[in-house]
Amino acid sequence: MLAVGVVGGTGYTGAELLRLLVMHPEVSLKYVTSRSESGNRVADLFPNLRGFTDICFTEPELETLSECDVVFFATPNGTAMKMVPALVENRVRVIDLAADFRLKDASVWKQWYGMDHACIDVLAEAVYGLPEINREAIKTARVVANPGCYPTATTLGFLPLIEQGLIDDQRLIVDAKSGVSGAGRGASVATLQAESAENFKPYAVDGHRHLPEIRQTLSDVVSHEVGLTFVPHLLPMIRGIETSLYARLKTDEAVDLHQLYVDRYSAEPFVDILDQGVMPETRSVKGANTCRISIFRPQQCDTVVVSSVIDNLVKGAAGQAVQNMNIMFEFDEALGLKQVALLP
């Protein structure tokens, strides 16, 4: 059994991570930390966990966390990088669900997150935890940077086209929509029910923090810089992401785009390519670690449209983190992640 610690278990991502971990047959949940909830039972804050764990929140202490085989960080950006070097030194493997280790360039990190990086040496060795492109590196990683939700849906949607060089990668367009849980559990006027219900709006059009992450990931695939316009929107629902991806084909030749995607993801346990003409729905992945994708070529013109849906809290966060843990410790990659999506 793996001894597992969770730092920052009070947000939506932390709650989802705990839901998955308490049901994982190879996990022994040893520590869940929170300074504000220390001493209180986890199941009192999250009553859905009642009967599944009696653990109490504790202070995030290096000494106790060093007893774990793996520690997950479900903390605000900038927190993990202050603790990770000491944990790695104590042979604890780390999966960070925040953005501390996603951007390889420390100056880019500072530009987008407004702070100096605290451990550039660890940043250099961290592995970007998207299994569909980095599975082999994840196996031996000491630190895994769990991808963001928008980058997961976007990268998986574009990946087969990018890899095969079929599209103009200097004019990629991402039209993304997320449920309000993506904004976190902290109180915010913008996510009050009276503000978000019956409303639909774009935000961060001039620049979202996930933009450099998406650019970096796709650029690494093609070994040159890509051009990307990324516009996120807030949907009046709790969880789920849909990304509509637009690109221009570079070839006039007849290419079976659907079969391209089927072939690329045939061995991937958590990517589902829908039948031709079937539209993805966010409700079809609610609570599941699945990315569902459809690809279209409207009117057989040179524009290709890809629709990709995930649950932002599962494949977009906690589920992908558990998937990475399974890979790191040589479990069946789908262990603990075979939940059927919740419907309705």
Are residues 35 and 68 in contact, defined by beta-carbon separation less than 8 angstroms? no
Residues identified as active-site: 149
CB 27 within 8 A of CB 326: no
Provide CB contacts within 8 A for 156, sequence distance 6+.
130, 132, 271, 291, 293, 308
Is there a contact between 183 and 176 (Cβ–Cβ < 8 Å)?
no
Q: What is the DSSP string of 83-130?
A: HHHHHHHTT-EEEE-SSTTT-S-HHHHHHHHSS--S-HHHHHH-EE--
Token pair 């989802």 in the structure block, residue: 16
> Residue 335 has what DSSP assignment?
T
Kindly give, in sequence order, each residue whose CB lies less than 8 Å from that of residue 273, ignoring residues fewer than 6 positions away.
Answer: 258, 261, 262, 265, 292, 293, 294, 295
Give the separation between CA 26 and CA 21, rounded to whole angstroms.
9
What are the tokens at 149? 């939700």
Give residue 104's Cα distance to chain centre.
17
Q: At 94, phi and psi to the nearest 5?
A: -130, 140
Q: 68 near 90, Cβ under 8 Å?
A: no
d(CA 227, CA 234): 24
